[in-house]
Structure 1
Amino acid sequence: MKNVALFGAGRIGSIHAANLARLPGIHLKYVSDPMADAAQRLATLHGAQAKADPAAIFQDPGIDAVVIGTPTTTHSDLIRQAAAAGKHIFCEKPVDLSADRAQECAAAVALAGVACMIGFQRRFDPTFSDAKRRLSEGEIGTPEMLVITSRDCAPPPVDYIRSSGGIFRDMLIHDFDIFRWILAGETDEAAWLSATGSSLIDPAIAQAGDIDSAIVSIRTRSGRLCQINASRRAAYGYDQRFEILGSAGLLACDNLRPTAVRQMDAHSVRIDKPEHFFLERYRDAYRLEIEHFFQQLQAGGPFRTTIADGVAAQRLADAAAQSLASGQPVTFD
């Protein structure tokens, strides 16, 4: 039996708590959140203890691993404290809002000799995973071009945007990871990146110092190309798609919908809109990634997403923010 502490009792923390409760051999011992009422509700629901003081949790020798689902600005501190205490770590993306601080976290994790997995849940989505498998098995030949569409159903509150680190670090961090996982693979990396964007949805987002619509183009060292188009709003639902063009064909991953029923009549053909929100869209992915974390922890095997992946995606996000600010492309050594 492995004892686990969960940091964060909000939306993502609630998802992780429910998935932890389903895992055999896992005991959710603590739930910690500055919002004491939220922590107590979630702890009561899953038979855990609410504990406000992170230091007390890290000092508990019975805790084997921590799951971090708190706001981004707290991730790096919690990772370092967990590593220093010898606890294994699962942390939501991103590692930090700064690539340099993320790298410092990676160094702390390596020094402590603990396991650390970063929650890029899209790698565990069954549709995306199957596309990766087919690509690896050569079904479309050599991959050449990746096009990612990433659109939220609606913008988050402006107060959230002010502390989010911006659209590239908060939202497109997932798409940068998809680029590395699908197109770059283990032998290629970004060589050139250009980003542009606008605030087309809400003037308050621009006043908060961010954009809500973006285009990012990336060229790899081997010449492969990626384009990411992103928006904080899609009136028709949560729009998450990508297609990869190869020398012998194309793999396309479409949206998930509540049902696959199509209605056809004399006037139109109708299907369900995409799932409305990321919690529904990636329901299975969140379950599968936490299962993977504990399975690999038990087996001593490698994680599908590591803290090194978190650092690499963060460097792309930083480069995109730099390109947007300067109006010039960024090249990588």
Structure 2
Amino acid sequence: MATKQRFALLGSGFIGQVHAQNLAAHPLVELALVADPDTARAQAVADRFGAQVATVAQALNSDAIDAVLIASATPTHAELLEAAARAGKAIYCEKPIDLSLERAKRVVEKVLRFNLPVTVGFNRRFDASHQQLKQHLQQGAIGRAELIQMVCRSSAMPPVSYLQSSGGQMRDQAIHFFDLLRWLTEDEVNTIGALGAALALPEIATFGDVDTSVLIMQMNSGALAQLDNTRRTGYGYDERISVVGAGGMAESASQCPPGASLWQGSSVTRPGLWPDWFNRVKQTYYQHLDAFVRQLNGEPVSGLPGLIDGLQAQAIAEAAVLSLAERRFYQVEAVLL
């Protein structure tokens, strides 16, 4: 019989509040504690969802907590991940594990020894359209994947303050698609080449970031993949993936909110794309949480992104960063622990 999992939420900023709402809404979860250095913000989230405020130490040392959800600032993820593992808690950790791949590997090596349930926040695996695409590939509908085209085009630039601490477009935005590529193809990227520029907001070039990029990758199987990213479009949030094989093409296409089309004479007006990334992927956060909770209750769950997935996606991102800087192809490190 399924039992309620008692969660502590570590971090109550924007993404922490998204997770808080999902934790509170899940029938098999109790959002028990909220911890954040900003105690006023933590109190507001706790009051909204019927939880209590605690320090991180209190949350990790509490016998009344089964699992923690790490949604704090990126530089704190690795430390909290290791501390939660030492406390014997199940862990949902937002990506990335750390902006330094070497530090992330050291922490993961320690955490794996505890043999605890851990998932990393690559929530896009739980997009219904992407999951149908995965099923087509698993069923051999188009044969072996030969060419993969991915698009990630955000509708509006994030604040510069966010970009300065994000780790850059490869580690922050493109990394979701590095994970999707590995998950969909069940293959590894061995070579990557990247070109990028700061076209939407030139000032971010001063701290080495880009907002527009194109990447070419080759998989171990020989398949070729392309990914184009931009931080700003003039037409909404555009996310799509197509896979070509000898037997045809499978596609997870751009999506629009439900709505009517208007036909007038020779013109047609249809609903546009989702206005921003969050509205497009919002439901995937709940679906990821639900899969993790089902795993905690002993249900076999496939496709949950784990610690090695987090490291390997980051290894691709690191090679992409080097490729951007040096304008040449780079080999992707295979993470072996």
- TM-score, length of structure 2 as denominator length: 0.94
Structure 1 runs, 4 residues or longer, greater than 3 Å off: 300-303
Shift of 1:256: 2.1
2:28 to 11, 14, 25: 25
> What SS does the aligned partner of 1:9 have?
coil
Identity of aligned residues (%): 36
Q: Note if contact 2:90-2:118 (Cα within 8 Å) is conserved in structure 1.
A: yes
**C-alpha separation between the residues in 2 aligned to 1:209 and 1:142?**
38
- The residue that corresponds to 2:227 in the other structure is 228
CA deviation profile, 1:257-294 (whole Å, cap 9, x unmatched): 22142222214212112112222111221111100001
**C-alpha separation between the residues in 2 aligned to 1:294 and 1:262?**
39
Shift of 1:2: 2.1
* Correspondences of 1:1-333 after superposition (within 5 Å): 1-51=4-54, 53-183=55-185, 185=186, 188-299=187-298, 301=300, 304-332=304-332
- Of 233-242 and 295-304, deviating more is 295-304
Shift of 1:318: 0.3
**C-alpha separation between the residues in 2 aligned to 1:321 and 1:163?**
15
Shift of 1:113: 1.9
- Of 6-15 and 79-88, deviating more is 6-15
Paired letter, 2:254: N
Q: Note if contact 2:294-2:301 (Cα within 8 Å) is conserved in structure 1.
A: no
Shift of 1:332: 3.8
Q: Note if contact 2:5-2:293 (Cα within 8 Å) is conserved in structure 1.
A: no
**C-alpha separation between the residues in 1 aligned to 2:161 and 2:275?**
22
- TM-score, length of structure 1 as denominator length: 0.95
CA deviation profile, 1:289-327 (whole Å, cap 9, x unmatched): 100001011116455211110000000000000111111
Q: Note if contact 1:147-1:244 (Cα within 8 Å) is conserved in structure 2.
A: yes
**C-alpha separation between the residues in 2 aligned to 1:90 and 1:33?**
16
Shift of 1:116: 0.6
**C-alpha separation between the residues in 1 aligned to 2:222 and 2:95?**
28
Q: Note if contact 2:261-2:270 (Cα within 8 Å) is conserved in structure 1.
A: yes
Q: Note if contact 1:8-1:33 (Cα within 8 Å) is conserved in structure 2.
A: yes
Paired letter, 1:326: E
Q: Note if contact 1:158-1:208 (Cα within 8 Å) is conserved in structure 2.
A: no
Paired letter, 1:317: A
**C-alpha separation between the residues in 2 aligned to 1:282 and 1:234?**
17
Q: Note if contact 1:76-1:102 (Cα within 8 Å) is conserved in structure 2.
A: yes
**C-alpha separation between the residues in 2 aligned to 1:246 and 1:252?**
11
Q: Note if contact 2:67-2:91 (Cα within 8 Å) is conserved in structure 1.
A: yes
Q: Note if contact 1:109-1:116 (Cα within 8 Å) is conserved in structure 2.
A: no
Unaligned runs of 5+ residues in structure 1 are none
CA deviation profile, 1:226-266 (whole Å, cap 9, x unmatched): 00000000111111111111110111212222214222221
**C-alpha separation between the residues in 2 aligned to 1:322 and 1:40?**
42
Q: Note if contact 1:219-1:225 (Cα within 8 Å) is conserved in structure 2.
A: yes
Unaligned runs of 5+ residues in structure 2 are none
User: Pairwise CA RMSD of aligned residues?
Assistant: 1.4
**C-alpha separation between the residues in 2 aligned to 1:142 and 1:209?**
38
Paired letter, 1:253: S
